[in-house]
Amino acid sequence: MLRNTKDGYGLVAIVLHWTLAVLVIGQIGLGLAMLRVADKRLSFDLIQWHKSIGLLILALFVLRLAWRLANPQPAPEASLKRWEKTASAAVHRLLYALLLALPLSGWALVSASVLGIPTLVFGLFLLPHLPVEVSEAGEAFWRSTHHLLAFAAILLIAGHILAALRHRILLRDHVLQRMLRPVGARKRERT
């Protein structure tokens, strides 16, 4: 029940998927809001939270990737057409890539900043800066990269959610259920 099998996702993969889903969607909302609030003090505080949550996402992503590599990958739902299998595998790979690239580009952005504002992760420890060039040009490059990746993530996540809803509402197959109930639990229920 904890581990994945060829038939479906285990509890650990499911908990990691939903924890990261909530954090990433919240993080996008926070990122968009923090740059648009008028109160400068509040904006600064929200950016500090954004940096800490982003690093938590990076840590959970490493855990998730390790768990995925240490587990069998569930075979796609049998009812899926060939293009659906190819498209979902491609989107999942891109989502994994974004889960790594987004926090790293954010980290590079604060490391390249000429202001050199320290990042105290959840008020617990000081984040070391990445070895990137500290300059206005470097900061601008990482800022555009971070923004571009964030908007790519918004589009991809919207597509991913719509696809899950299509399976649930229109096709009425088990694609969404696979990510809601661990594989062992579903099998026991059916017997």
Residue 31, interface with ligand HEM (CB under 6 A)?
A: yes
State the nearest-atom distance from the C-beta of 185 to ligand HEM, in Å: 16
d(CA 134, CA 84): 44
Q: Is 157 in the site for ligand HEM (CB under 6 A)?
A: yes
d(CA 190, CA 186): 6
State yes or no: residue 139 binds ligand HEM (CB under 6 A): no
For residue 38, which amino acid is it?
Answer: A
CA angle 50, 69, 142 (to 5 degrees): 30
End-to-end CA distance of the chain: 16
148 binds ligand HEM (CB under 6 A): no
* Alpha-carbon dihedral 52, 57, 59, 64, rounded to 10 degrees: 170
Tell me the window of 37-45, 50-58, 130-138, 182-190 that interacts with ligand HEM (CB under 6 A): 50-58
160, two tokens: 């991913």
- The DSSP code sequence of 10-25 is -HHHHHHHHHHHHHHH
* Gyration radius of the chain's alpha carbons: 19
Q: Does 57 bind ligand HEM (CB under 6 A)?
A: yes
How near is the Cβ of 17 to ligand HEM at its closest, in Å? Answer: 6
Q: Which is nearer to ligand HEM, 146 or 191 (CB)?
A: 146
For residues 58 and 54, give the distance between their C-alpha atoms in angstroms, rounded to a whole number. 6
Residue 178 in contact with ligand HEM, rule: CB under 6 A: yes
**Looking at 11, 15, 28, 185, which residue binds ligand HEM (CB under 6 A)?**
28
Residues in touch with ligand HEM (CB under 6 A):
17, 20-21, 24-25, 27-28, 31-32, 35, 47, 50-51, 54-55, 57, 68, 76, 88, 92, 95-96, 99, 102-103, 106-107, 109-110, 119, 143, 146-147, 150, 153, 157, 160-161, 164, 175-176, 178-179
